[in-house]
Amino acid sequence: MIAAGKRTVRLLGAYGPLLVACYLAGMLLHHVLIQFAGFVGAWVAELGVVLLPLAVLARLVALVAMLVILRDGLSNVGALPEPGKRPIRRFTDALLAGILPFVAFYAARGYLADDVTSYFHRRLEVRADIVFTSTVDGGDATEPPSPEVLGVSFTTIAIIVVAYCLRWLWGRYQDRLPGGFALAAVYLETLWIYLSVTVVSRQLESLAAWVDSRQAMVWLSDLRASLTGWLAPLGATWDTVVLVIGEAAKVTIAPLAWLAIVGVIYGRSVQLATPQITVPTRAAHLERRFKLLPAQVQSRLGDLWRDFASRFTPIWKAVLHMRTAGPAFIGAYVLAFTAVLFLEGALRVGIFRALGPHDINSFWLLADSMILLAIPLIIEPIRMALVASSYDELIGISAKAGSSDDDSTASESSRASSGTT
């Protein structure tokens, strides 16, 4: 991990300005697209929601661009052969692979909810202007009814199904279509995954609220209170364990998620060997049963399964490479990632302390956006350089582990052949 730290410093020195430019462009485009979607949504609600995923796509494009820039400075990932495709095709493949983990992480961190909130604020502002103008002109300013397209509704399901089907058709006939259709496929993939994640998130929130309101949860709470009331150390132990587990999850999930996202994106832009795993007996049995089906049924089901599994296979490969690195490397990487988070908080406190107190109306309402934007412009390039350097070292560890396994297998084979002789 020391080598990864040194490489992070070198990457920042060589590509720091380009990383800042990519991140700033992504943030500005993200803001503009949310404002544009809100403006359109004030007139046609369904069209505004269809445009909203473009804001997330802008963030993902900036991330992939940053990783492409950093790839030239990585010793292990940079030395891997690239697939025999044009650069724009490799870039779109990386985007398609990174959409699912990025949107899932985006939603888990609450960024998706922030985008939806900003979208509705902009939509309400534009709608208020429309109502005011119509009222002054003596027209009818009533807002037309619009379905709930960010929840479970016929409109949402229809958009998801149509976007997925069009994306599937592109994947099936992409060799016969012009290269420009790949950009449309990236948008369709973002659209159906974005809406699906939004629907699932809302349903999970409703399920959690429903579970919390059940009488059984009240009984469990009363049972815990009665047990810990009689034995105070038990209550302290219970609270300590819950606190430790929660804090450990907060510290580890974000860095591991970023490492997986970077692994997925780099795994699609280079020819990366897949770590070998043992196929479970149950899976082998299902595969044998599958081969008993008619050939036409196997072909159709195989197409559907390959299309579905292609979104999770890069994630699984990245997890396998993380597994080969071992707990010592992962622990050191999490510690370094946490140090970057500490630096982010220290910068925020330091900037506010350096500026001192100011009036809210005359200063903070005007300057807070620029001040708060300076912090991620410093932190995000450092974070991306650290994650890319760590993944590069992880690939080196995986390659050494794979070569040692091959050497041990060869030696065992030679011993077996000599014993037979």
Report domain extents, the chain.
Answer: 2-208+254-405
* Band (419; pLDDT cuts 50, 70, 90): low
Q: What is the pLDDT of residues 55-68, one digit of tens each?
A: 989 998 998 889 88
Residue 35 tokens read as 């404002």
Residue 29 above 90 pLDDT?
Answer: yes
Please report, for residues 107, 108, 150, 322, 421, the alpha-carbon distance to residue 203 in angstroms, rounded to integers and kept in the order given: 13, 14, 11, 31, 66
Question: What is the pLDDT at residue 212?
Answer: 67
Arithmetic mean of pLDDT over the chain: 76
Q: What is the pLDDT of residues 223-234, one digit of tens each?
A: 666 666 666 666
More confident residue, 53 or 216: 53
Residue pair 404/89 in contact (Cβ under 8 Å)? The answer is: no
More confident residue, 271 or 154: 154
Share above pLDDT 70 across residues of the chain, in percent, rounded to a whole number:
69
Question: What is the pLDDT at residue 30?
Answer: 92
Task: Calculate mean pLDDT across residues 283-299.
Answer: 62
Q: What is the pLDDT of residues 69-107, one digit of tens each?
A: 888 888 877 776 666 667 777 788 788 878 888 888 888
* Band (421; pLDDT cuts 50, 70, 90): very low
Task: Calculate mean pLDDT across residues 12-29.
Answer: 90
Residue pair 378/61 in contact (Cβ under 8 Å)? The answer is: no
Phi, psi torsion values for 355, nearest 5 degrees: -75, -35
* Band (1; pLDDT cuts 50, 70, 90): low
Residue 369 above 60 pLDDT?
Answer: yes
Question: What is the pLDDT at residue 260?
Answer: 84
SS3 277: coil
DSSP string, 130-170: HHHHHHHTT---PPPP---TTSSSHHHHHHHHHHHHHHHHH
CA–CA separation, 31 and 110 (whole Å): 16
Q: What is the pLDDT of residues 311-339, one digit of tens each?
A: 666 667 777 767 777 788 888 888 888 88
DSSP-derived letter for residue 1 is -
Residue pair 149/156 in contact (Cβ under 8 Å)? The answer is: yes
> Which residue type sits at 4?
A
Q: What angle do CA 241, 244, 245 make, to 5 degrees?
A: 85
Residue 279 above 60 pLDDT?
Answer: no
CA–CA separation, 364 and 352 (whole Å): 11
Question: What is the pLDDT at residue 23?
Answer: 92
Residue pair 78/72 in contact (Cβ under 8 Å)? The answer is: yes
CA–CA separation, 189 and 165 (whole Å): 10
Question: What is the pLDDT at residue 283?
Answer: 54
Question: What is the pLDDT at residue 32?
Answer: 92
Q: What is the pLDDT of residues 99-135, one digit of tens each?
A: 888 888 888 888 888 888 888 888 888 888 887 777 7
Residue 404 above 80 pLDDT?
Answer: no
Question: What is the pLDDT at residue 217?
Answer: 63
